[in-house]
Structure 1
């Protein structure tokens, strides 16, 4: 079986063409980089195809890492794999980043792969000596992840040194393998996998962050990414982090399949902080939902996000935008007032939760 494998989830761009009947990859490349994956990936794959001597029609499968990793990096690899896989009519196999990294270590001892997830969190997965997945991938505090490891476990990943120091355990040993996915190593995982449709990105960020009590630094360096059905699982995570009753990924996927529906995600240094979902019909639009992760609320994120989406709607010919907000939701009403929304009506008993009914204000803004 001939497999094209690619990774753009972390601080490198990697690709390889592997014939599972051969001992060595037919062609491989690994380029460390923090940014520029989108520009580097296609030329890298083209070069490897020429180097391998294969035609695209001879590729049997595509293996792609699905995360966890940077939001933009995950999307770049998945988008490329989907486009090429659909064009060639071949299976696309998603490999989680921790399983991919596990293939970098020799099969001699149990292995714990841990990746830095910021704020004392790590992404973790435990493998046995034959690299069979035992636990994870999951999001955990660094100290808790160390408790997953049996005696004489190898550590690998961007958070491995931190975890060993925090644990204080002398029996945990550092692997000499690469802390980043290497396409030439994890490609063979795709040969054993059962095709299951188009792979989805893997987001593990839990909805358990607590808001800070002190004054918060305003975020001035946001960038905005258009979301689509492929990011439904991320939107579900962000929604659950902002609301008591989170919407499912299936619900977001269904909404984004409707004509005129669009979503935008606000990010800081590649980390998704907030999202907005709107629906347009002719020259009018409505905000369906808007949410900001708890630790990033009251930092000016939502106001910038609304402004960015309104600019996009205005450019598409929208003249008026509407939304509903609970009458008791004073913070949201204050936010919408800041960006120019005014009251346009009242909907009685619009919100119904656990037997409790509440009116909704209809707000309007002319663009």
Structure 2
């Protein structure tokens, strides 16, 4: 069985193509990083596929870590895997991040995986010598995370050293096998699992990022970058964060393949925070979709990205731009009105909702020569 495995759940990005019959990776890549997973993942997957000598037609299933980990990182990996699975009709297998880290250690000894969860806590899971999970993943305090560990247990994970010191125990040791998930090592776990529904993120706590008292300040200096067809997976990851029903990478590939289509992202400190997809025909254009990652919403990011793109379109000779927005989406309408758009018509019962249909408002803006 050939498995494409990927991970972005913690402070690294990794991908691998593994042949479980040969019991070895055909190609693998790993890079430690605190941020930038969304930009790194697609090229890394393309790289390992190319080096393996296979393409997605030869892949039997996809394995992806589901957390616990960073909220953004978990969503990026899952969105990528889901989009790829849907587009290529491949089963996607979710592997919890602590089981993925446990796969690093080959020594026959009990294992305690502990990953930093901040605020004096860790994500913890215990495994026996055969790597059967005995408990977790769960949140434990650093001081008591090793209370149930039997003598001779190896500690592994980003919080292993801290937990070991806090325990004061001399009968425990820190594994040297590596404290972060590595796609090439956990891929084989997916071969033993039965495919089912698309995996969901495993969140054990609420996000740390919360609005500051008095509200978040306006976004600082943003940079803008065009995204071409290979960036469809990045756009799918961002869209999945911004909207409840995310579009797949295959959908973005189709849209980017349309004549006149162009995508752009806004970056803050090098991290993608918003996206915009437009399509141009002669001297008119339309906005297909625009979105902002939840952690940076209400900071003027979408407004700046929209203004940047409108200026560029005007410079390319576009004189008029249109968009459609749900009649009940007052927040989006406010954004567009602030950018100079006006209502130009309606499409009755345009959007299909769970409880019926909703009108679409057509908005238009004239661009200066």
The normalised TM-score by structure 1 is 0.57
Whether the 8 Å CA contact 1:8–1:73 is kept in 2: the answer is no
Bigger RCO (CA 8 Å, 6+ sep): 2
Q: Deviations over 1:203-258 (max 9, x none)?
A: 8595684311256363324556868699778645544xxxxxxx455xx66xx699
Deviation at 1:334, TM superposition (A): 6.7
Whether the 8 Å CA contact 1:61–1:92 is kept in 2: the answer is no
Distance 2:310 2:144 in 1: 47
Distance 1:311 1:292 in 2: 23
Runs of 5+ unmatched residues, structure 2: 348-359
1:219 aligns with 2:220: yes
The 5-angstrom pairing of residues 1-367 of structure 1 reads 1=1, 3-7=2-6, 9=8, 11=12, 13-15=14-16, 17-20=18-21, 25=24, 29-32=28-31, 34=33, 38-39=42-43, 41-47=45-51, 49=52, 56=54, 61-66=60-65, 70=73, 74=77, 78=81, 86=88, 93-105=93-105, 106=107, 108-114=109-115, 124=123, 126-129=125-128, 130-133=130-133, 151-152=148-149, 155-161=155-161, 164=163, 168-170=166-168, 174-196=174-196, 202=201, 204=203, 206=206, 209-213=209-213, 216=217, 218-222=219-223, 235=239, 237-239=241-243, 247-248=244-245, 266-268=266-268, 273-274=273-274, 283=284, 285=286, 290-291=291-292, 293=294, 295-307=295-307, 310=310, 319-322=320-323, 335-336=335-336, 338-342=338-342, 364-367=364-367
Deviation at 1:127, TM superposition (A): 4.1
CA 1:297–1:151: 2 relative to 1, 3 Å = same
Deviation at 1:128, TM superposition (A): 2.9
Deviation at 1:271, TM superposition (A): 5.4
CA 1:270–1:5: 2 relative to 1, 3 Å = farther
CA 1:67–1:221: 2 relative to 1, 3 Å = farther
Deviation at 1:189, TM superposition (A): 0.7
Distance 2:95 2:61 in 1: 10
CA 1:344–1:92: 2 relative to 1, 3 Å = closer
Deviation at 1:186, TM superposition (A): 1.4
CA root-mean-square deviation: 6.0
Q: Deviations over 1:122-178 (max 9, x none)?
A: 9946243243456776xx9x876877765227553345556x39x954468643221
Runs of 5+ unmatched residues, structure 1: 50-54, 240-246, 348-359
Q: Deviations over 1:77-107 (max 9, x none)?
A: 7499769x94xx9766454544322211345
Distance 1:80 1:362 in 2: 29
Number of equivalences: 331
Q: Deviations over 1:46-104 (max 9, x none)?
A: 54x4xxxxx75996735443555748973897499769x94xx9766454544322211
